[in-house]
Amino acid sequence: MLGDHDIRISYWKAWRSREVALDYAKGSCATSYKLLPDYLQRLVRANPGTLAEIHTIYDAGVGHRFKYMFLALGASIDGFSHMRNVIIIDGAHLRGKYAGCLLTASAQDGNYQVFPIAVGIVDGENDNAWEWFLKMLLQFITNEDNVVFISDRHSSIYKAISKVYPAAKHCACILHLKRNIQTYFKNKHLGYLVGKAARAFQLSEFYTTFNEIKNINPSCAEYLLDIGLEHWARAHCSGNRYNLMTSNVAETWNSVLRNAREYPILHLVEYIRSKLMKWYAERRDVTQHPNRMLTPRVTSIVEENFEISGGMLVCQINTGEFDVKDKDRISYHVNLHTKSCSCFSFQTLLIPCPHAIAAAIKEKSSIKSLVSNFYTMDTLVAAYAGNILPISSEVNPSIEGT
């Protein structure tokens, strides 16, 4: 105000003016909560298969009061069936008048893009809120041992998963773990080694790095053992977290919603719906990638592995089986029939490693056929096949321009 209009006002007056402007543009927060049930009902009617739930509590002095909200659009539920069973869950603070927390569940599509599955709005990241959110997810993501959750190791998430998804695997975000290590033990190199050990595909590679951690700081090694190796080390995980070693997928989604997290609840939900509608339309459009079998991101990974495979020595063992020696003359056993390699990268990522590519070239097999269907353009299009429709403008005209 001082720079643009040469008027001095207090910080408090500037803040209140901003709040009034937001209320004028988006409506009041209190009114937004009142309109939410009707909005969600109409959203479900416009988008068949959508799960929308509001949980209230009774307050003797007020009546029924909002507690939790959950939303999973029908197109997202259908699309998740074309994803790998790795769900990244996270919470982010809301900055509106009534505060609260936005809980998200996301996956990663075959082009390594964020695929939002569901959102929840709760009073905070606590045991009850996370348990309620996961119970809502349980309606379409079953409790099976091939399901993997990745989180920032919030204690309430651990408790909720143990109750609601006891058969699923729970893995830690490596970035959060590294930050904790560097904070507690005041050693950046330890953080680097933890990341290296966590990403190792082979047990031998893991223990080489872990022993180095143990030699530098035995207390750090003990701390990591107490967490449970299966929670943070890929080589020890009994499930498959593929390339997903961090919760960056969820944090990217939270970043997209950063400004919207200060909107009244109704406009926040509508912003999410509108954003997903645009993403689905853009991502199902394959005309931008004509005649491409694999997704762009995975194509680049395969091309990079192809370059690395040059100069490897390949000897056939049996039909489809090969002994492949890299440039350091380290030997790897590749089986093209089972799509596996003794480096463990091939069967973990479901993308042929350089050793597998060298073997495929020797056998004159198609390299692309070794890539999992998760990473094909057909699967990507199928994941975004569903339409996300707006509610009709007659419902609430103030929402239409969001």
- Quote the pLDDT of residue 21: 54
- Quote the pLDDT of residue 18: 54
Place of tokens 């803040």: 15
Contacts 24+ apart (CB under 8 A), 359-364: 359/314, 359/322, 359/324, 359/334, 360/336, 361/309, 361/314, 362/314, 362/316, 362/322, 363/316, 363/320, 363/322, 363/336
Burial of 64 (0-12, 13-18, 19+ CB in 10 A): exposed
Full-prediction pTM beyond 0.85?
yes
Task: Please give the Cα distance from 40 to 53 (Å, whole number).
Answer: 8
pLDDT in tens, the chain (402 residues): 566 666 777 765 665 555 555 554 555 677 888 999 999 999 999 999 999 999 998 887 777 789 999 999 999 999 999 999 999 999 999 987 778 999 999 999 999 999 999 999 999 999 999 999 999 999 999 999 999 999 998 999 999 999 999 999 999 999 999 999 999 999 999 999 999 999 999 999 999 999 999 999 999 999 999 999 999 999 999 999 999 999 999 999 999 999 999 999 999 999 999 999 999 999 988 767 777 899 999 999 999 999 999 999 999 999 999 999 999 999 999 999 999 999 999 999 999 999 999 999 999 999 999 999 999 999 999 999 999 999 875 544 444 444
Task: Please give the Cα distance from 270 to 37 (Å, whole number).
Answer: 13
Task: Please give the Cα distance from 115 to 113 (Å, whole number).
Answer: 6
Task: Please give the Cα distance from 155 to 241 (Å, whole number).
Answer: 20
Note the pLDDT tens digit of each residue in 349-358.
999 999 999 9
Q: What value does the CA radius of gyration of the chain take, rounded to a whole number of Å? A: 25
Q: Which whole-number Å values give the CA distances from 355 to 166, 240, 304, 316, 317, in the listed order? A: 37, 21, 12, 13, 14
* Beta-sheet pairing, 101-108 with 63-72: unpaired
Q: Which whole-number Å values give the CA distances from 169 to 85, 129, 228, 247, in the listed order? A: 10, 20, 12, 15
- Quote the pLDDT of residue 175: 95
